Structure formats: C-alpha cells, structure tokens
C-alpha cells in the first residue's frame, strides 16, 4: 500500500508543547481543565501507547490532533503541520479510529470507503478501496449493508475508513473494544504490518496487556497531565519487583529464618512465595538461602511485574 508522503519526513510524527484545554463551565458548573501543559514527542515510525483512567484527557488530546477540538493554549503538530494553522496538512496526515461505532447502517463498506476517500479529495484513479477492504478482511462483505455486519466487522471497517487516504499517522482509540479474540488477532496483525512499513501508530487502550505487548514507548496521562513517558521496558522496571514461587520437598509450618530476610510467605505446606527487587537481589542468593535451610527444591516459577501494576501504582489516588 502506498502511504502519504509529505515534502519532508519529520523526526517526530506528533509533537505537543504546553498543550492545554479548558472547557468553560456553564451556569453553576466550574471550568474544567481537561489538559494541563501536555508535552509529548512521538517519534516517526514508533508504536506509541497513551494510557490513562477514564476522564484523564486522552480523548481530548486525540480530538485536538484530529482537528475536532480547539486547544486553549500551547501547540500541537501532526507530521510537522500545526493542527490549527495548517489544518489541511495535519488532517491529511492522520487517520483516527474512534471508540464509537459511528457508521451509516445503509451504506455498504465499499460505498463508505469510496465516500471517505472522496471527502479527502482523492481522485478515483488514486483510490485503493479494494486494497483497503482486503487489508481489513471485508472483501466478502464489501457490498453488504453495514447494518448487517457484526461488531468486530464494524470495528475493522472503521480501521479501513482511517486508512483510505494512506496517512503516515494512525490513531487507534480503544480499537479492540467489543472485538473477539480471533478478530483482535487479525486487527493487530494488520496494524503491526503497517507499523513495520513505516506508519506511526498511537494507541489508547484499557487492555494493558495489549499495550505492553505492542508498544515500544508508553505515556501515562492522569488528571490532564503526563505523569510518565518512557520506553515500555523502562516503565516496567520502575517497580523493581519480581516474584518467585518455590515448591520444596518438606512440609513447613513457618518460613525458615534464612528466608525471612527475603520476605518469604508460606502459601501452602510445601510452597513459598518470595518477592524481591532484582536490581539488588539475584535468584542465586535465594537458592543459597533454601540450601542453608536444608530444603530441596522441587519446582520453581517466576512472575515479572506487568504494566497493570505499574499503571495502578502511578495513577492511584494518594
């Protein structure tokens, strides 16, 4: 698929500087600061995750990038174009897959993609409707009314709508909500392929395991502010916690003294849970402590910290 190419490729696909948005209250309602000085630089070609609780400001940020909401102050650029001063270029450079399944039930997928391409001013000779339908797995339903499509198919149709003008930046706002496991796998396979071909992907999702598996960089936003922005690996390393569960060959009534310094916890007559900081303690030290306690090891399992734990630690109310 041929992707939109601007006169120059910026180092960062999306940049926001001190971006703020305040919704003016009416009547007795006080003004609401949805965004408070957001600074983000999303590198060209990255798979970037934007996470946060409901009401954190994610949708407001996306709508500003898409030209649907006017900022209060600061700046936002998409592919080097200012989202307001150069709105045409910015909108041409971004495709947004919204949360809502906002499709016309009386249009077929083919008609919908053709109409969307026309809205972007693409001549018929340059449209890639068939290729897009194939890419999102809807060729067999190309001429069926959208109202007859399943929820997963409608979600894929929205991805197709975002792709019709071949934007260099694709924004996925909760794209797998309501999509079954098989369709979700197909969706991510296509998106990963697009990312590998150069498309910058910005993802918001409540499926944190998806973000952990897909994104190379993650920003967490809370109460309108960015509270973390770093590589996925660096973010996971923040808690510096690892868990080990060990089954031994002897019944135990309590945690042996040599294991108490590792905060060992008995979770069965022959099973202990050890939580430790891998930056300061290695597994060899733990195994030595078991040997000191004259315990034979039957089985060992480990669990790394996951993104959900980091997310909850950073966003929980003090």
Q: What is the per-residue pLDDT across 202-250, written as a single tens digit (0 to 9) for each?
A: 999 888 888 888 999 999 999 999 999 999 988 888 877 888 999 999 9
Contact 169, 94 (CB under 8 A): yes
Averaged pLDDT of the chain:
88
Q: CA distances (Å), 318 to each of 281, 304, 313, in order?
A: 29, 25, 10
pLDDT by residue (tens digit) across 7-47?
578 999 999 999 999 998 777 778 899 999 999 999 999 99
Domains of the chain: 12-236 (3.40.50.300), 242-315 (3.30.70)
pLDDT by residue (tens digit) across 261-312?
888 889 988 999 988 888 788 889 999 999 999 999 999 998 877 777 888 8
Q: For position 155, what pLDDT does the model report?
A: 84
The DSSP element (H or E) to which 38 belongs, if any, is: strand 32-43
Q: For position 86, what pLDDT does the model report?
A: 94
pTM of the model: 0.79
The token duo for 41 is: 């630089």
Give 236-289 as a DSSP string. Answer: HTTS--EEEEEEESS--SS--HHHHTTT-EEEETTEEEEEE-TTT--HHHHHHH
The token duo for 300 is: 């060992």
Confidence of residue 79 (pLDDT cuts 50, 70, 90): very high
Q: For position 311, what pLDDT does the model report?
A: 83
């Amino acid at each position: 698929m041929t992707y939109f190419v601007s006169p120059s490729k910026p180092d960062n696909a999306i940049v926001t500087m001190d971006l703020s948005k305040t919704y003016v209250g009416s009547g007795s309602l006080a003004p609401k600061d949805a965004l408070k000085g957001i600074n983000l630089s999303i590198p060209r070609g990255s798979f970037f995750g934007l996470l946060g609780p409901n009401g954190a400001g994610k949708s407001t940020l996306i709508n500003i990038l898409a030209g649907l909401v006017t900022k209060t102050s600061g700046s936002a650029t998409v592919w080097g174009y200012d989202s307001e001063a150069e709105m045409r270029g910015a909108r041409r450079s971004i495709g947004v897959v919204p949360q809502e399944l906002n499709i016309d039930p009386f249009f077929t997928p083919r008609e919908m993609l053709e109409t969307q391409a026309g809205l972007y001013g693409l001549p018929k000779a340059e449209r890639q409707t068939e290729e897009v339908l194939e890419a999102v797995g809807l060729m067999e339903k190309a001429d069926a009314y959208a109202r007859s499509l399943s929820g997963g198919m409608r979600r894929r149709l929205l991805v197709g709508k975002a792709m019709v003008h071949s934007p260099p930046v694709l924004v996925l706002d909760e794209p797998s909500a309501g999509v079954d496991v098989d369709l979700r796998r197909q969706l991510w396979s296509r998106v990963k392929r697009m990312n590998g071909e150069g498309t910058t992907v910005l993802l918001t999702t409540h499926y944190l395991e998806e973000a952990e598996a897909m994104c190379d960089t993650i920003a967490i936003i809370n109460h309108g502010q960015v509270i973390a922005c770093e590589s996925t690996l660096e973010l996971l390393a923040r808690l510096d916690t690892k868990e080990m569960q060990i089954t031994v060959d002897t019944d135990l009534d309590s945690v042996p003294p040599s294991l108490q310094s590792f905060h060992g916890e008995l979770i069965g007559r022959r099973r202990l849970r050890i939580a430790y900081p891998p930056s300061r303690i290695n597994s060899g030290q733990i195994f030595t402590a078991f040997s000191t306690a004259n315990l034979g090891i039957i089985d060992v399992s480990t669990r790394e910290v996951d993104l959900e734990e980091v997310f909850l630690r950073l966003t929980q109310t003090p």
